[in-house]
Amino acid sequence: MDGGRKVWAPDPVNGYQLGIIVDVGTDTLTVEPIHAPKKLVTDSYDRIFPSEEDNDKDVEDNCSLMYLNEATLLNNLRIRYKKDLIYTYVANILLAVNPYRELGGLYSPESIKRYNGKSIGVLPPHVFAIADKAYREMKATKMSQSIIVSGESGAGKTESTKYILRYLTVSYGASAGVIERRIVEANPLLESFGNAKTMRNINSSRFGKFVEIHYSDKLAIIGGFISHYLLEKSRVCSQHMEERNYHIFYQLIAGAPAQLKTALKLDGNTKFNYLNPVSLKDPAINDVEDFKQLEQSMDQVGLSMEEKYNLFQMVSALLHLGNIQFEENTADRKGGSLVSAKSKAAVSITSHLLGLNEGDLTRSLTSRVMVTTKGGTVGTIINVPLKKDQATNARDALAKALYVKMFDHIVGRVNQCFPFASSHSYIGVLDIAGFEYFQVNSFEQFCINYCNEKLQQFFNQRILKEEQELYKKEDLGLTEVTYIDNQDCIDLIELKTTGIMDLLDEECRLPKGSHDHFSDAVHHTHNGHFRLTVPRKSKLNYHRNLRDNEGFMIRHYAGAVCYQTAAFLEKNNDALHDSLEQMMIQSNDPFVKLLFPASAAKKNTGSKKLVLISVSSKFKTQLNELMDKLRETGSSFVRCLKPNLKLESHQFIGGQILSQLQCAGMVSVLELMEGGYPSRAQFAELYQMYQRYLPKKLAQLDPRTFCKALFRALGMSEHDYQFGMSKVFFRAGKFAEFDQIMKSDPDHLASLVERVQRWLICTRWKKGIFGVLSVLKLSRKISYRADNAIVIQKNVRMFLAKRRHQPRYTGIAKIKTLRGRIEQLNSMVSVLKKQVQLRQKIVIIETAMDGSVEKIKKETVSKHEIELAYNDILHSCEALMGEMKKRQQQERREEEEAERLRKLKEEEERLRQIQEELERERKRQEEEERRRKQEEEERRLKAEIEERRRREEEERKRKEEEERIQREREAEAERKRREEEEKDRELQRKKEAEVEAARLAAEEQERRDYELAMRLAQDEPHPQQVLVEGAAQRTQSRIARRSLKRSEAYTGRQQQQAAKKYNLSKWKYAELRDTINTSCDIELLEACRDEFHKRLRVYHAWKSKNKKRTESPDQTQRAPTEIVQQAEEQPVKQPPALPKRISSLIRDDDAPQRYFRIAFVRPGQPSLDKRKGWWFAHFDGQYIARQLELHPDKQPLLLLAGKDDLEMCELTLEETGLARKQGAEILEHEFELEWTKHGGVPYIRPYNRAVLK
């Protein structure tokens, strides 16, 4: 499908494999590998990437690839590695893949000359180009530079560092003479004493170094300085079975002359406890030749014969010291130990070589001197015997202290061979041990990985964070790139008081500190920390057997590493027992006295316990100082990669390379560089750089205009550069092309100057035309303002007239309002008996009112006079109304008095009749009295009943009022509860979003942990037995569950889909399309269309995200821009419910068929061509059925659903907003006319298809 589009799909071994998309799912894509057609791969959209058109083509800069993603990066590295092209750029970052063999001519003197003064991108990628870039930036910015060489052990960091130093000293150090040779020649000396063979590298640096080359103000080399960090001192006493001790031990045994061996007691003795027997002769290492190079290096740095002998003597003494063995002293009741009989010779040789007394050495190794501070006599010296294990530990501690101090002396002596008083600037090259992970990881790996965490954070800040901040500051408007921040892991290790390092120091200060208590303290302090967990959660069987108090596991940026704490406390303390240190101070050998000065031990003399000299605190301080140096300098990065674990040439394991790229942050760099500008220059700097190449006429321009004219004249694509606020930014490699053009031959420069002048003339002509147009626009504006001035005058006159006459018509209106009073008076007088005189008064008032109105109309009357007339009329009305009211009251009183007299007479007559009746009824008085009492009793009872009813009614009303208030309170409480619930839901949604982000981060960390464990397991003979059973499946299942982020609306639609009749989530893309084209089942047809368009939408989103870098954003659009923007801005409304839609289709043939037409300019059409085409669309329901595009001078494009779906608009009718766009909808016959005129086939609706069948 999609024209056989090739993509990269994940592969556990090769990283990615090439395949073809065969099916599109809602959350996943199914790919058929080209080299394994029957093994389909299904994975999420964000794990599958488009491939280049030519997958066998390689590029020097990965930013030049058409698609920037981790798959194309890995493929480009693979192709170049096969061609012995080990260097590749990612913008200004150099990737170096270790070839594990010599490449002829790659580092020859001729190569050094070729890269001298050349910008990155002019010549093929090389470590020399990075060194030259650092020098040129130091020269241009007057700022010191740093080159950070990073990578895993065995990736080639040490060799890259040597080549960088060699380039800087040879290319830019000709005037320094001996100094630059000493800087380079010091490497063999440092490697002999600081490098060793490990399981992953035959020349692994077991210490870190920062080599500084210092320059004068004239940029001449005046000296150098080497800072070293964290020498692995435990290697002196023990090594892994497949590893070796430091190179110097084997070089001295194999390459020293016979006379020297005799003097050092090495002749005839090849068995030493500090050396693995199997490691004495390694076929991959020539110790004899390396010893010769060591002696040459010592001579170059200026070591005398005595100094060389002192170093060899110390190495020999360490070998013999390791042969001293101990056994239990059965005669000692305190359980002490003594030197075994077979070790007497080793004690004698060691004491002789170190200038010690044999008895003192034996006594100091088997006992310990303490001074009392409490009880008895204070200051009493007590000799405490040591057990066998304690004596062995004391011997090893002495050996490690001797070697560390000797190495410090060597580095200090090397620094003395290229001294300098002061410097103007320097270039520093950092070479430190890469990220390490073994089956047994101890204190050294913990410190090394902590250092790499800090360096990774520096890389993220310098390359990603600061780069994006610069883009934002310069207003380039680029999309922000996210990256994993490892600050929480750094805080876990170094945070004050609660950090692991501080917890370790605190444990070392305890009288009876132990590793298990330290482990418990770490787990207790950081319980629940994402980066820390217990060993049993490791993916390796070996680590899962460890108890919780035997170690801890940290999830580093590169993966999870399990550390065993058994030797943490011992390795963290650099101090010796007082008796051993005092013995070394009293040595007769001058070199030993130099290593153990007496002043350093005075403060510890007489101490009752071992004083803590924390290695971790010292290393943390040194590392922070190093990071401060790096932050104060400009940075260049060299990322060294290890192609396989077997250290074999011509073997490229993609999965291992991909893991290193991801851990190194290169994937995030790709995302940044996809839209970024790695090269940039100030306008003024660019102006000064090329000013001398241009004639005076052009050189007089201001820097910004100069740059703008220059780029226009060169015809550079606007996609290749962008102007910021103060700088011009270039795409990767484009600055080198620009530089090459500017420094080309004079004839080409003359034509360039001519183009610049032509551009300036055109620009000035455009400015002149713009000025004329501005004058015309101004004249139109003046005319417009004159017309509007008339309107303003009219309104002003109207306002003035209104203000002048307003009191008059306002007064007339007020007087006329008194008409209502007149009508009221007429109504009142009509009910009075004597009304003739009152009516005359009303007529008089009306006459006065009419006269006032006429006077106001005809004469000029002031506002005061109008107010007086109004008040007179008003007072007359009120006075008359008062008189009428009095008349009404008088007549009412007379009527009431007559009525009262009438009633009085009636009452007297009634009383007379009652008396007569009482007289007649006197005989029945007693009966009536009884009845009266009975009636009174009844009335009393009724009154009580009525009172009770009244009280009950009041109680009922009171209760109803209380209930109403209660209901209102409950309603208010319910409203508040709903608001709280809404807030809780909002917080829950935010919390779920945070949990989802944490889950994705955890899954990413889980994937890295698995890859790291898998790479570690590759070292074993049976990798699958080393890994925890099911770890791979669980990790891969977690990876497979990752999908694109979905909105809540989409989740809701998924739930609705689950509840539907048809579950189409497992249907293939081709099955859905065939069903849409052939099915007569309307329900199934609609369900398939919904699922089909849902998948199309997700697939097109994936294609848009992974588009070609040369494509404009609109080049692949399938609908006019305004429609696409409408769909993005407006919230998506759901189409009509399926049952209603289906019933409508089944009921009749009146399915919603709608037709639209809109103007359309096809992307890629020249901007000068203003002619527009037309975009026609026929929607069958919510989805598009036919699409027609008509463009000037082009063939019409006809697309039909079911055949050309991938090229058609995937939006629904509701999403396009066409139904709401005025003038967009057309009639059916208008669409059909255009469709048939250009050769379109008739469209058969689903309903008609069912009827035909």
| 200-259 pLDDT tens trace | 788 888 888 999 999 988 888 888 999 988 788 888 998 888 889 999 999 999 889 999
Take residue 854 and report the two structure tokens written for it.
Answer: 């006429």
**Banded model confidence at residue 739, pLDDT cuts 50, 70, 90:** low
Take residue 926 and report the two structure tokens written for it.
Answer: 């007693």
Longest Cα–Cα distance of the chain, Å, equals 175
Instruction: Decide which of 884 and 738 is more confident.
Output: 884
Q: What is the dihedral of CA 1044, 1045, 1047, 1052, to 10 degrees?
A: 60
Q: Is the pLDDT of residue 277 over 70?
A: yes
Mean pLDDT to the nearest integer, 556-566: 89
Take residue 1180 and report the two structure tokens written for it.
Answer: 């069958």
CA distance 639 to 98: 11
Q: DSSP 3-state assignment of 1096?
A: helix
- In terms of DSSP bridges, do strands 1225-1226 and 41-44 run parallel, antiparallel, or are they unpaired? unpaired
Least confident of 603-612, 1038-1047, 1149-1158: 1038-1047
CA distance 28 to 416: 63
Q: List pLDDT tens digits, range 741-765.
A: 555 545 555 666 677 777 777 877 8
Cβ neighbors of 19 (< 8 A, separation 6 or more) are 6, 7, 8, 9, 31, 32, 33, 34, 41
Take residue 920 and report the two structure tokens written for it.
Answer: 């007649």
Mean pLDDT to the nearest integer, 483-503: 90
**Banded model confidence at residue 379, pLDDT cuts 50, 70, 90:** low
Burial of 560 (0-12, 13-18, 19+ CB in 10 A): buried
DSSP summary character for residue 1028: P
Q: Is the pLDDT of residue 56 over 90?
A: no
- In terms of DSSP bridges, do strands 1153-1160 and 551-556 run parallel, antiparallel, or are they unpaired? unpaired
Q: List pLDDT tens digits, range 98-153.
A: 999 888 889 998 999 999 888 888 889 999 999 999 999 898 888 999 999 988 87
**Banded model confidence at residue 1167, pLDDT cuts 50, 70, 90:** very low
Least confident of 332-336, 672-676, 892-896: 672-676
If you compute the radius of gyration of the chain from its CA atoms, what whole number of angstroms results?
Answer: 49
Instruction: Decide which of 948 and 610 is more confident.
Output: 948
Question: Please, which contacts does 461-467 make with residues 24 or more away whose CB atoms are closer than 8 Å?
Answer: 462/635, 463/93, 463/637, 463/665, 463/669, 463/672, 464/665, 464/668, 464/669, 464/672, 467/672, 467/676
Q: Is the pLDDT of residue 605 over 90?
A: no
Q: Is the pLDDT of residue 1069 over 50?
A: yes
532 strand-pairing partners: 554
Cβ neighbors of 668 (< 8 A, separation 6 or more) are 460, 464, 481, 482, 483
Q: Is the pLDDT of residue 262 over 60?
A: yes
Q: Is the pLDDT of residue 422 over 60?
A: yes
Q: List pLDDT tens digits, range 398-408.
A: 999 999 999 99
Per-residue 3-state assignment (H helix, E strand, C coil) for 873-891: HHHHHHHHHHHHHHHHHHH
Q: Nearest Cα to 5, choosing from 1165, 1116, 1077, 1078? A: 1116
Q: Is the pLDDT of residue 613 over 60?
A: yes
Type of residue numbered 711: F
User: Which contiguous run of DSSP H or E holds residue 1002?
Assistant: helix 925-1017
Q: Is the pLDDT of residue 378 over 80?
A: no
Least confident of 316-330, 776-790, 911-925, 1119-1133: 1119-1133
Q: Is the pLDDT of residue 1144 over 50?
A: no
- CB 68, CB 95: distance < 8 Å: no
384 strand-pairing partners: 368
pLDDT value for 589: 92
CA distance 509 to 611: 8
Least confident of 483-492, 1008-1017, 1239-1248: 1008-1017
pLDDT value for 1041: 47
Q: Is the pLDDT of residue 280 over 80?
A: no
**Banded model confidence at residue 1068, pLDDT cuts 50, 70, 90:** confident
Q: List pLDDT tens digits, range 815-848.
A: 888 888 888 888 888 877 777 788 888 888 888 8
Tokens 């070839």, residue located: 99
pLDDT value for 1087: 82
CA distance 879 to 882: 5
pLDDT value for 3: 59
Give the other-Cβ count within 10 Å of 920's Cβ.
9
Instruction: Decide which of 1038 and 384 is more confident.
Output: 384
Q: Is the pLDDT of residue 354 over 90?
A: yes
Q: What percent of the chain stands above pLDDT 90?
A: 23
DSSP string, 1229-1250: HHHHHHHHHTTPPPPPPHHHHH
pLDDT value for 501: 93
Tokens 């005025």, residue located: 1222
Q: DSSP 3-state assignment of 50?
A: strand
Mean pLDDT to the nearest integer, 951-970: 87
Phi-psi domain of 1030 (left: phi exceeds 0; alpha: psi -120 through 50; beta: other):
left
Tokens 């329901």, residue located: 1181
Mean pLDDT to the nearest integer, 1215-1220: 81
Q: Is the pLDDT of residue 1010 over 80?
A: no
Type of residue numbered 1204: D
pLDDT value for 1049: 44
pLDDT value for 794: 92
Edge to edge, the sheet with strand 1183-1190 lists 1197-1200, 1183-1190, 1173-1180, 1153-1160, 1225-1226
**Banded model confidence at residue 1132, pLDDT cuts 50, 70, 90:** very low
Q: List pLDDT tens digits, range 873-932.
A: 888 888 888 888 888 888 888 888 888 888 888 888 888 888 888 888 888 878 888 888
pLDDT value for 292: 93
- 34 to 7, 38, 1099: CA distances (angstroms): 10, 9, 21
Q: Is the pLDDT of residue 603 over 70?
A: no
pLDDT value for 203: 86
Q: Nearest Cα to 1084, choosing from 1055, 1059, 1063? A: 1063
- CB 475, CB 722: distance < 8 Å: no
**Banded model confidence at residue 1201, pLDDT cuts 50, 70, 90:** confident
Give the other-Cβ count within 10 Å of 491's Cβ.
14
Burial of 741 (0-12, 13-18, 19+ CB in 10 A): middle
Torsion sign, CA atoms 483, 488, 490, 491? positive
Least confident of 22-26, 121-125, 848-852, 1130-1134: 1130-1134
pTM over 0.75? The answer is: no
Cβ neighbors of 1191 (< 8 A, separation 6 or more) are 1160, 1162, 1165, 1173, 1197
Type of residue numbered 466: E
Q: List pLDDT tens digits, range 714-734.
A: 666 666 677 777 777 776 556
Q: Is the pLDDT of residue 57 over 70?
A: yes
Mean pLDDT to the nearest integer, 371-392: 74
Mean pLDDT (the chain) is 81
Instruction: Decide which of 386 and 1141 is more confident.
Output: 386
Take residue 935 and report the two structure tokens written for it.
Answer: 């009636």
635 strand-pairing partners: 146
Give the other-Cβ count within 10 Å of 250's Cβ.
24
Q: Nearest Cα to 323, choosing from 348, 351, 343? A: 343
pLDDT value for 498: 92
Most trustworthy range by pLDDT among 346-350, 611-615, 761-765, 855-859 = 346-350
